Amino acid sequence: MTLQNIDKTLVKEIKKRRTFAIISHPDAGKTTLTEKLLLFGGAIQQAGAVKSRKNARAATSDFLSIEQERGISVSSSVMKFTYKDYEINLLDTPGHKDFSEDTYRVLTAVDCAVMIIDNAKGVEPQTQKLMEVCRMRNTPIITFINKLDREGLEPLDIFEDIEDKLQIECVPLTWPIGMGKRFKGVYNLSKKELGVFSSGYTPKDDGIFIDDLTDPKLDELISQSQADELREDVDLIVGASDPFDLDLYLNGTQTPVFFGSAINNFGVKEMLDTFIQIAPAPGKHTTTTREVAAEEKAFSGFTFKIQANMDPEHRDRIAFFRICSGKFTKGMKVKHHRIGKDIKISNATIFMAQERSNVEVAFPGDIIGIHNHGTIKIGDTFTSKEPLKFLGIPNFAPEHFRRVILKDPMKAKALHKGLAQLSEEGTIQVFKPLTGNLYIIGAVGVLQFDVTMARLKSEYSVKAGYETIDLSVARWVTCEDEKILKEFKKKNESSLTLDAEGWLTFLTTSVYQLGFAMEEWPDIHFHKTREHN
């Protein structure tokens, strides 16, 4: 990249942007923290605007009825808000383990993440899986220890748990004063500010400045015993822990840690104030041909998610699109490279908590929604100039399989359309056997099958069920030698399928059986992941 390719007017806008995801185990408080961040940013005006699922305000981060029924997030949503002159794009992710593939794709579109840990439970299995995904991309992580208003583990025990299970160094930037009924607030170690906890705390409240922990005022604010305990804790932390290192945080080996109670708005502001200072602005993205820098004049971006029926009354399908370089302007023409066509984007949408608005301009790091009539797929690249293909947006081989049973044969076309569109979203993967007419669907988690059946019924008027099938392994198949591939297909026809994009896929009962096939066919490549076309 030459200096001539850098648009200096972009730099200011890019530096203002922060694009991140919240990751956590189910029930750790992700939806609540999302709501509080929007509250601090002024994007919503009252608590409950995100979380409430039973009334007209049910909106932002839980779209599907099955999410509302089960109280989980199975789709990812995007929310934009402004905080202290920073433009923040918050991507909500499914917390449930059965939707980790969708979470991975969301993490390809962010520059950092906030990880929530339940104070009482410590590191849970889904958190470990999500951390593995972040480590694949060296994603910087800020940690928020939640639910300090309840009894839980001692802070140092949580640190040990995080460092042992997640292999990342913890550096506290705030420290809790008690927990549960004894929870009195958090002390900001760098700013030497004390936030005193009260249930009536609001985003407009400021911390109480304590210049010196020996100040007798501290004993009056909390209690002498807890003031003494805080002094001992701070002495211990300052003496025993390494200081915060921005470079170590940015390469994903150190995490700054904050404590609080999201449901009470407490400790969130300290985390958010630090987040805007240390979270990375949009940077470089890798393509098949070169790295693309955010500051380049030429526009580029990729689709990382398709979301259907965000507004059931309009049956809309939105392609979520991460801008990687250049400036987006309403009505601009871009090249959709997979299909080789120029398209005009005149009705792009930006999501501001509960409201959508048309985009006039957008910059690297911003997430915009493009109305999609079936032509846009996950991984598609759009540019104003050269052909590019962004990397790192894979399909994962499913781990669970079911055979689809159509209850009304007259709905065969609707079933085909529904499965095709759901596979484009990444909800499930669809396989058509080379022999036979019944569809096989695959998923990373079994809950996706229930979601699929519910959506087929509500969105496509298709009544279908599924039955178990003796399969547990899928691998995409390639071979440089056409003759060998033809022979492989002939001998293994009953185990071969085509996925929704026409890729040849080998399905079998176990890893053990896969091993046999790999030994028998050394020239055939069996792929556990593949890049989106």
pLDDT tens profile 269-285: 999 999 999 999 999 99
Asked which of 278, 293, 309 is the last residue of a domain, the reply is 278
Considering the domain boundaries, does residue 11 fall inside one? no
**Structural domain tally of the chain?**
3
Greater model confidence, 337 or 437: 337
Considering the domain boundaries, does residue 150 fall inside one? yes
Q: How many CB atoms lie within 10 A of CB 23?
A: 28
The DSSP 8-state label assigned to residue 326 in this structure reads S
Residue-wise pLDDT tens digits, 307-319: 766 555 555 678 8
The DSSP 8-state label assigned to residue 209 in this structure reads E
For 377-398, b where at least 16 C-beta lie within 10 A, e where not — what string? bbbbbbbbeeebbbebbbbbbb
Greater model confidence, 399 or 129: 399
pLDDT band at 55 (very low <50, low <70, confident <90, very high): very low
Residue 208 has pLDDT above 60, yes or no: yes
Asked which of 248, 278, 308 is the last residue of a domain, the reply is 278
- Report, as an integer, the average pLDDT of 357-386: 88
Considering the domain boundaries, does residue 181 fall inside one? yes
Looking at the structure, do residues 379 and 455 belong to the same domain, yes or no? no
Asked which of 234, 258, 278 is the last residue of a domain, the reply is 278
Considering the domain boundaries, does residue 7 fall inside one? no
Q: Of all residues in the chain, what percent are helix, strand and coil, respectively (each to 5)?
A: 30, 30, 40
Contact of 152 with 118, CB cutoff 8 Å: yes
Tell me, what CATH number does 468's domain have?
3.30.70.3280
Q: Residue 135 is part of which domain span?
A: 17-278
Contact of 404 with 439, CB cutoff 8 Å: yes
Task: Give the side-chain half-sphere CA count within 13 A for 331.
Answer: 1
Strands (E), 13-107: 17-24, 77-83, 86-92
- What pLDDT is recorded for position 96? 53
> Percent of the chain, pLDDT > 70?
86
Q: What kind and span of H or E run contains 256? A: strand 254-259
Greater model confidence, 131 or 461: 461
Task: Give the side-chain half-sphere CA count within 13 A for 164.
Answer: 9
* CA distances (Å), origin 283, targets 19, 129, 365, 373, 419: 11, 25, 9, 31, 36
Q: What kind and span of H or E run contains 497? A: strand 496-499
Tell me, what CATH number does 240's domain have?
3.40.50.300
Considering the domain boundaries, does residue 3 fall inside one? no
pTM: 0.82
Alpha-carbon distance of 366 to 384, in angstroms, equals 17
Q: Both tokens of residue 92?
A: 């909500």
Looking at the structure, do residues 437 and 524 belong to the same domain, yes or no? yes
Looking at the structure, do residues 497 and 378 belong to the same domain, yes or no? no
- What pLDDT is recorded for position 148? 94
Looking at the structure, do residues 309 and 423 belong to the same domain, yes or no? no
- What pLDDT is recorded for position 221? 83
Looking at the structure, do residues 316 and 436 belong to the same domain, yes or no? no
Considering the domain boundaries, does residue 197 fall inside one? yes
Q: Amino acid letter at 503?
A: W
Looking at the structure, do residues 258 and 318 belong to the same domain, yes or no? no
The β-bridge partners of 224 are: none
- What pLDDT is recorded for position 457? 92
Looking at the structure, do residues 253 and 311 belong to the same domain, yes or no? no
Looking at the structure, do residues 102 and 86 belong to the same domain, yes or no? yes
Looking at the structure, do residues 77 and 165 belong to the same domain, yes or no? yes
The β-bridge partners of 527 are: 476
Least confident interval from 123-127, 174-178, 520-524: 123-127
Considering the domain boundaries, does residue 209 fall inside one? yes
* CA distances (Å), origin 366, targets 151, 205, 356, 462: 39, 30, 14, 36
Considering the domain boundaries, does residue 220 fall inside one? yes
Residue 43 has pLDDT above 60, yes or no: yes
pLDDT band at 198 (very low <50, low <70, confident <90, very high): low
Which of 395, 476, 409, 399 has its CA nearest to residue 438? 409
Looking at the structure, do residues 270 and 235 belong to the same domain, yes or no? yes
Looking at the structure, do residues 318 and 399 belong to the same domain, yes or no? no
Looking at the structure, do residues 197 and 300 belong to the same domain, yes or no? no
The DSSP 8-state label assigned to residue 297 in this structure reads S
- What pLDDT is recorded for position 59? 37
